[in-house]
Amino acid sequence: DLSMIRATVPPIQNALTAARRAGVMVIYSRHLILPGFVSDSPLWLSIHYAGGLRDLNQEFYTVAGTWGAEIIDELKPQPGDIVLEKVRSNVFIGTQLDTLLKSNRIETLVITGQITNGCVENTARTARDMDYYTVLVSDGIASTSKVNHDATMTNLGKRLPSPTADEIVKIWAR
């Protein structure tokens, strides 16, 4: 069920528009699985097999070069935006995110995206542990499971601010 994920598109659009207007650096991360799953460790392969993967040549949702790995049209990066490609759920692993942030003296991360209990949680916890002021846009993140999303937000909400996109837009408008 992708309804929760689809519901995040308008809030993310609003946050992106406000960020660009305010001169905030916009960074996308795109999770890729390399063709043939060559970037996936035995642990990741076992997770894929548990989820139904039976053939390393079968199509999978984020295989590089397929439609599933593309950023949806409604949220396409604009000129000046940065797109980082990652092969792990945490965008700090195997990318230049930390260098990019430090080089630009960025101390705050405002996180949107999917999946709440996967990529979002892993990245948010790492960002916080690396001393970035980490903000979760509460209506700009989702999971395919309401139970998993709610449990993660209950836990992370005790540790990280989680305003709505409208609240973020108001802050950036100041």
C-alpha 160/C-alpha 136 separation (Å) is 7
Residue 110 pLDDT:
98
Residue 48 pLDDT:
72
Task: Summarize pLDDT for 8-42 with one digit per residue, the tens.
Answer: 999 999 999 999 999 999 999 998 888 888 888 88
Residue 62 pLDDT:
78
C-alpha 34/C-alpha 104 separation (Å) is 30
Residues of the chain with pLDDT under 70: 54-61
Residue 34 pLDDT:
80
Domains of the chain (ranges, CATH numbers): 3-173 (3.40.50.850)
Residues contacting residue 70 through CB under 8 Å, at least 6 positions apart: none
Judge whether 12 and 75 are in contact, CB under 8 Å.
yes
- b vs e for 108-126, b when ≥16 Cβ sit within 10 Å of the residue's Cβ? ebbbbbbbbbbbbbbbbbb
C-alpha 119/C-alpha 116 separation (Å) is 7
C-alpha 38/C-alpha 143 separation (Å) is 26
